[in-house]
Amino acid sequence: MTSEPRPSRFADQVASLGLSTGLTAPSPEIIDEIQRGRVVDALAATAVEHGYAGVTVERVLRHAHMSARTFYALFDSLEDWGHAAYRDLGCRFQAALEAAWRREDEWPSAVRAAIAAGLAFAAKEPVTAQFLAVEVRAGGPEARALQAASIERLAAKLREGRSRCHGVAAPNRFAEWVLVAGLVSLVGDRLLAGRPHELPALEPELVELALAPCLGAEPARRLARG
Amino acid sequence: MLAHGERAPAQLRFLLVDAQSAGSALRAEQRRAAERLSAALHEGRAEDEDAAELPPNTEEMLIAALAWVVGCRLLDGESPAPLEPELVEFTLAPYLGVDEARRFAGS
């Protein structure tokens, strides 16, 4: 009796990335994606090291071990590249939060899961998180607008909880936006102080702060600490 | 703070935003200023039983949020002054509750 050859798990994973197991070279699109990812990560690291104002093409290329020719084939300008970095890294962060959010059915649990995911992301990728939370503010109006839009997406998730404000006065029109900005800034301060390892322990506090305006202090405390 | 922002927006912007990415000495100075403001807010915990049990970093978060919002307005070249009622309400709500904070803020 002959058995079907079992597909290799590695081969499946490689194939799912659009790569091959070595018989053919990756497509130019895949190579561009990889190069772009390297530049984006290098930009974040350079901004964290020198401040956004200190980001130059030379510094980033040195970080990325890449030639100027390759860089200019991917991006038109330093500005174009800064925005691409914020979008790419911001999407990575947002995806982590949204995946955690979707796993929960109830709004308070979803808030808690998203905060835990955000803190875990920042602890695991402190350079990326510091770039998104702190450095990008020095990146000009368009970079700040991208950051404001990210904060608004998170604030909108918190605003969904207003339907739960039974017996508690609803907060003012932009309370959630200010709250998210405060939480992001709190995380940014820990990162600037070089203490990313402390972030996951902040979860119960941040959850309580996020839930309290809608649920009231005591229920928020119970849920956050429970 | 908001009045200062009206009189000297560039100065306030420097204190709230630029100092953050201007090296560790200035950042430490900014942190000390935030701690002084946090200590002043902390006194609000005596106002209410619930407030006494607020999470330890509440004041730090509130100050950070205010600095962020005011900083954003200044970066965009806009006056932060019109936001006063909402910011006062946001800051006082954890200590007084939203109703009382809103009444006090006149928002």
Q: Report, as an integer, the average pLDDT of A183-190.
A: 92
pLDDT beyond 50 at A5: no
The residue ranking higher by pLDDT, A138 or A64, is: A64
Q: Report, as an integer, the average pLDDT of B15-30.
A: 77
Structural element, H or E, at residue B99: helix B98-105
- Ranges A161-165, A166-170, A204-208, B95-99: which has the least confidence: A166-170
In total, the C-beta contacts within 8 angstroms joining chain A to chain B are 102
Q: What pLDDT is recorded for position A198? A: 94
Using a CB-CB distance cutoff of 8 angstroms, which residues of chain A are in contact with residue B27? 192
Q: Report, as an integer, the average pLDDT of B29-57.
A: 90
Q: What is the per-residue pLDDT across B70-87, written as a single tens digit (0 to 9) for each?
A: 998 898 889 999 999 999
Using a CB-CB distance cutoff of 8 angstroms, which residues of chain B are in contact with residue A49? none
- Ranges A28-42, A112-126, B16-30: which has the least confidence: B16-30
Q: What pLDDT is recorded for position A16? A: 62
Give backbone dihedrals phi and psi of A80, rounded to 5 degrees, phi first. Answer: -55, -40
Find the radius of gyration of the CA atoms of chain B.
Answer: 15
Q: Which residues of A touch B (CB under 8 A)?
A: 51-53, 134-135, 137-138, 141, 144, 148, 168-175, 177-179, 181-186, 188-189, 192, 202, 204-206, 208-209, 212-213, 217-218, 221
Alpha helices (runs of H) in A57-174, residue ranges in sequence order? 57-64, 68-74, 78-102, 107-124, 126-133, 140-159
Q: What pLDDT is recorded for position A13? A: 59
d(CA A41, CA B4): 38
- The number of C-alpha atoms within 13 Å of A110 and in the hemisphere containing its C-beta is 15
Q: What pLDDT is recorded for position A154? A: 93
pLDDT beyond 70 at A218: yes
Give B66's pLDDT tier (boundaries 50, 70, 90). Answer: very high
A192 Cβ partners below 8 Å, 6+ apart?
A130, A134, B20, B27
Find the radius of gyration of the CA atoms of chain A.
Answer: 21
Does the domain spanning A25-225 belong to CATH 1.10.357.10? yes
Q: What pLDDT is recorded for position A35? A: 85
pLDDT beyond 70 at B2: yes
pLDDT beyond 90 at A139: no
Q: What pLDDT is recorded for position A9? A: 54
Nearest one of A86, A169, A171, A96 to A134, comparing CA atoms: A86
pLDDT beyond 50 at A7: no
User: What ipTM does this complex have?
Assistant: 0.84
CB A85 within 8 A of CB A40: yes
pLDDT beyond 80 at A176: yes
Mutate which: A55, A166, A209, A218, vs B, most B CBs within 10 A: A209
